Amino acid sequence: MQPIRNFVLLAVGVSLLFSIPAYLFVAERPSPESEPVRVLMKYLKAVYARDYRQAYRLISAQDRRLKKEDVYVRERGAFSGFTLEVGRKLSEFIEIRPVKTDFKDDRGRIKLSLTLPDANSLSELLLNWDEDRLNALPRTEQKRILTSLDQLKRKNGLTMIQGEEEFTMAKEDRVWRVYLDWAAGVRVNFAATVPPEDGLEARPTIKETVARSGELFQIAYRVKNLSAKKISARIVHRVEPKSVAQHLDLVECALLLPVRMLPGEEKEYASTYLLQGELPDDAKELNVTYEFKVER
């Protein structure tokens, strides 16, 4: 799912927490289960809006010890500027309803029914989600887009997607957080090899990350032409060990085709990966190497 601020439509009296059952808010003090539900809702809306710095603060400390904030934000491809504002607005249109909760001590499972805007259906209005173009729009045009989204919501004109998801929560120092269990994941290391005589420099922006099956993540390589001539290069993509390589899918890669760089030019090329399937029990680490070859 491609994730996709503002305030709720007061004209129709919609509450920020409209989708949580009313019984959770009868008492002045929230019930033991209502707080984790609210935290999870806040997390899911942040993830949908690609507001990953906000989402990171709602992840368990146990997970955060395994992945720094900057790594998490970069590998998820966080929005910024007006694009983030659009994402936040759309996230307020998400309807979330707890279907089942199961809590014991400091752990809990929450199953949610989700209804959320289909971001892809808004591509025409939102310039195909081109962040540079959206952020560069005049403020008058940005306000027009936000107004259009409000109108679509008011007229039930948004295409919505429905589904159910289950999440684990952890209580840490009396505060509930989303538990992703990255410790059970696979460490993925990234490296680059470039023949020194070819006048090319390449390095991954993220040298390592931790991922679990079903997770999408993004990395990028900074490539610089150190020579005084134009360079054309291609890569060979190597994943080891071979026994686990089949579980790492390259969803999108800007380096699949040969790249051409002018003298002194430096560029960043992004790749998106998906770790999937049931990995072997002993699969703890993957090594990904981009082997750059200059075409002559």
CATH number for the domain spanning 276: value is 2.60.370.10
Report the distance separating Cα 172 and Cα 159, nearest Å: 38
Q: What is the pLDDT of residues 138-195, one digit of tens each?
A: 999 999 999 999 999 999 999 999 999 999 999 999 899 999 999 988 999 999 999 8
Query: Which of the two residues, 278 and 290, has the higher pLDDT score?
Result: 290
Looking up residue 21, the CATH number of its domain turns out to be: 3.10.450.50
**pLDDT value, residue 38:** 92
Position 254, amino acid = A
In a domain, 5, yes or no: no
In a domain, 71, yes or no: yes
C-beta separation of 244 from 278 below 8 A: no
Domain co-membership, 55 together with 124: yes
pLDDT at 2 over 70: no
List, in sequence order, every residue forming a beta bridge with 222; answer none if it has no partner: 203, 268
Q: Which residue, 115, 149, 181, sits at the end of a domain? A: 181
Domain count, the chain: 2
In a domain, 1, yes or no: no
Domain co-membership, 151 together with 31: yes
Tokens 């259906």 identify what position?
121
Tokens 């989204």 identify what position?
149
What sign has the CA pseudo-torsion 86, 124, 268, 240? positive
Domain co-membership, 131 together with 22: yes
In a domain, 103, yes or no: yes
Q: Which residues of 170-193 are buried (b: 16+ CB within 10 A; e: fewer)?
A: bbeeeebbbbbebeebbebebebe
DSSP 59: B
Q: Which residue, 133, 165, 181, sits at the end of a domain? A: 181
Domain co-membership, 149 together with 35: yes
In a domain, 2, yes or no: no
Domain co-membership, 207 together with 86: no
Domain co-membership, 17 together with 134: yes
Mean pLDDT of the chain: 85
Report the distance separating Cα 291 and Cα 264, nearest Å: 20
CA distances from 123 to 2, 100, 119, 147 (A): 11, 34, 7, 16
Query: Which of the two residues, 112 and 9, has the higher pLDDT score?
Result: 112
Domain co-membership, 141 together with 39: yes
Range of the domain at 281: 185-294
In a domain, 4, yes or no: no
In a domain, 3, yes or no: no
Report the distance separating Cα 47 and Cα 56, nearest Å: 9
C-beta separation of 119 from 83 below 8 A: no
**pLDDT value, residue 296:** 66
**pLDDT value, residue 255:** 83
**pLDDT value, residue 177:** 97
Most confident by average pLDDT, 8-12, 178-182, 280-284? 178-182
Q: Which residue, 128, 160, 181, sits at the end of a domain? A: 181
C-beta separation of 237 from 253 below 8 A: yes
CA angle (228, 230, 235) in 5-degree steps: 120
In a domain, 189, yes or no: yes
